[in-house]
A = this chain, B = another copy of it.
Amino acid sequence: MSSITPPLARRLGGLQSSAIRDLLKVAARDDVVSLAGGLPDEQLMPRDRIAQAAESALADRARLQYTESAGWGPLREVLAARETVRLGRPVPLEEVFVTHGSQQALSLLAEVLLDPGALVVVEDPAYVGALQVFRAAGSRIVTVPLDAEGMRVDTLADLLGRGERPALVHTVSNFHNPRGVTMSPGRRRELAELAERYGFWVIEDDPYGELWFDNPSPEPVAAYSSHVIRLSSASKTLAPTLRVGWMTAPDAVCRGVELLKQGADLCGSALTQQIAAELLADAEWLEAHVREVRRVYGARARVLVDELRMRFGDRLVSTDAAGGMFVWVDFTDGTDTVDLLPRAVDLGVAYVPGEAFAVSGAHRNSMRLCFTTSEAATLREAVARLARAIGE
């Protein structure tokens, strides 16, 4: 077996199995309330609609076959119509590409757009799925911090001013994972302007944009420039099992991704793509369904944030319950979330320490909490346990 070692060791370098996955194993104990997960609530997924759509998809034997690498035509048509509304400009079919979840879009885009050693800018704390892809691509990674208005675009402008020339800037523009914040409209415009001036690509990774609680998400960064590639997904609004993500990008980028997709896995599933197409095309039903998901997640998020603020007061700063799936907490009292974790799990609550998302900053006083799969009473109990673990 020794002949596997050299390429594996070199190629994978420091790439490690996600720390989050290891944590989830610990937190799977029945007596632990886990806020460490990152899954949407399967109780809210439209199981019956998916089952009906599966049945009607299979009425046509063509849905049993291979499909086009770019995605099944009718799904791309639905997506093009939706993106046309979202971006406020006509989005032709050639600019929509269906991927196996948006993680596949990230992975194929890294191959298409990045030479080894290319400079990639990511937010810190970072979405680890993106970080993993850029590290595996051999990119040089530079970070820009986030604040309550999302990416610090002024810091990016400073980097550019000092002569750094990124090939790519990655942002989770809405309800950031893990940082919870949303990029303000002003910064979106500035980021798009920088992309045009300096000729880099922006990947706007947007799986959570529809999960707003009070106010709709701002216009996408992609509405401001054709240098922005927008990714989204059916995983958070419909169901991860469909493995349907999509990309809106210039034709040339889509064709590059198409060539690589043929080598990567030929094509997606015509069955799950047809299920997604049917559900996304039923606008009235979809609006009601997503409204219900927003209502339930919104209520849970408010309980969590209120409870954290009530219990801890000014010992922590929490993001607002504005949307998405995560709350980010910065402790102001020096609490070290890595050191705390074993004691927290002993007392029956799990979270992800900020360090798991760190690129340059350490985030030792921060944690990510996921509110999607817990009822209000459970969330209150989780915060009570957290308070006991820290020692009120």
Show the binding face of A for B, using Cβ within 8 Å.
1-4, 6-8, 10-12, 15-18, 39, 42-43, 45, 47, 50-51, 54-55, 58, 61-67, 99-101, 103-104, 107, 111-115, 118, 129, 132-133, 136, 167, 199-201, 226, 235, 239-243, 250, 252-253, 256, 258-260, 262-272
Q: Does B64 contact A42, Cβ atoms closer than 8 Å?
A: yes
Closest 5 CB pairs of A and B: A64-B239, A104-B265, A100-B265, A42-B61, A241-B271
Contact of A259 among B12, B67, B104, B239 (CB under 8 A): B12
Assuming A45-B61, A112-B11, A242-B269, is B201 touching A263 (CB within 8 A)? no
Task: Provide the bound-state CA to CA distance between A10 and B114, in Å.
Answer: 10
Q: Tell me whether chain A's interface is mostly helix, strand or loop, or mixed.
A: helix
Assuming A242-B269, A243-B265, is B8 touching A256 (CB within 8 A)? yes
CB distance from A132 to the nearest CB of B (A): 5
Residues in B with CB closer than 8 Å to A266 are 101, 103, 129
**23 CB-based A-B contacts, threshold 8 Å:** A3-B201, A4-B112, A7-B112, A7-B167, A8-B113, A11-B111, A11-B115, A18-B262, A45-B61, A51-B58, A63-B241, A64-B240, A100-B100, A107-B264, A107-B265, A129-B262, A136-B263, A242-B269, A242-B271, A243-B269, A264-B264, A269-B269, A272-B272
